């Protein structure tokens, strides 16, 4: 059976409990925490390392404690990237940190592991999508996964080139 479409259409009543009308939509993001309570944003390359520093942790420990590797289909193929883990209503992880997400992960809403209820534990190093996304924007004005995919692809190419240079 095909997975259902995610309820990203804010006219969809499925969003009513989590996405009440924005009081002043012209202000864009006013830090209501709605994204933080439903779908944490993806990191761009290099950002998770900065977040690990903010938390005073080694990268591997940080990943195993707080991040998952999510995937997305784009027009240039399937990409994978680090994303803060989502917590379910009972406080359990939706997927175990340090692992790759399953196919239904993107359709499951969950509170970001860094959301305190009033703010973000890693605010100064929050992910690319968290810095750029505003729920009042038209979809075309928010960053697309393709944009992010290109960043990960460029980072991968740069890494490959650097390793080839050092092997020469």
Q: Which residues bind ligand SF4 (CB under 6 A)?
A: 35-36, 40-41, 84, 112, 114-115, 120, 122, 126-127, 130
Q: Least distance to ligand SF4 from the beta carbon of 72, Å? A: 16
Query: Closest CB to ligand SF4 among 114 and 152?
Result: 114
Least gap, CB of 118 to ligand SF4 (angstroms)? 10
When the beta carbons of 20 and 119 are compared against ligand SF4, the nearer one is 119
DSSP labels, 21-89: PPSSGGG------TTTTT-PPPPPTTHHHHHHHHTT--HHHHHHHHEEEEEEEETTEEEEEEEEPEE-T
Please state the closest distance from residue 90 (CB atom) to ligand SF4, in A. 19
115 vs 152, beta carbon nearer ligand SF4: 115
Supply the minimum distance, in Å, between the C-beta of residue 140 and ligand SF4: 21
- Residues 44/150, Cβ–Cβ less than 8 Å: no
Nearer to ligand SF4, 13 or 117 (CB): 117
* CA 1/CA 13 separation, integer angstroms: 23
Least distance (Å) from ligand SF4 to the CB of residue 29? 10
Instruction: Decide whether 45 or 127 has the Cβ nearer to ligand SF4.
Output: 127
| Contact yes or no for 136/22 (Cβ under 8 A) | yes
How many Cβ atoms from other residues are within 10 Å of residue 42's Cβ?
26
Q: Give the number of residues written for the chain.
A: 168
């Amino acid at each position: 059976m095909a997975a259902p479409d995610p309820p990203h259409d804010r006219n969809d009543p499925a969003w009513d409990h989590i996405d009440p009308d924005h009081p002043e939509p012209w202000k864009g993001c006013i830090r209501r925490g709605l994204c933080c309570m439903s779908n944490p944003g993806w990191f761009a390359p290099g950002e998770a390392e900065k977040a690990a520093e903010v938390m005073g942790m080694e990268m591997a420990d940080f990943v195993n404690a707080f991040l998952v590797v999510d995937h997305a289909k784009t027009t240039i193929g399937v990409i994978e990237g680090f994303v803060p883990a989502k917590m379910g209503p009972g406080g359990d992880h939706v997927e175990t940190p340090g692992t790759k997400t399953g196919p239904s992960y993107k359709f499951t809403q969950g509170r970001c592991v860094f959301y305190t209820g009033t703010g973000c534990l890693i605010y100064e190093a929050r992910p690319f999508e968290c810095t750029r996304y505003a729920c009042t924007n038209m979809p075309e004005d928010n960053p697309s996964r393709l944009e992010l995919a290109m960043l990960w692809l460029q980072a991968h190419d740069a890494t490959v080139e650097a390793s080839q240079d050092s092997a020469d």
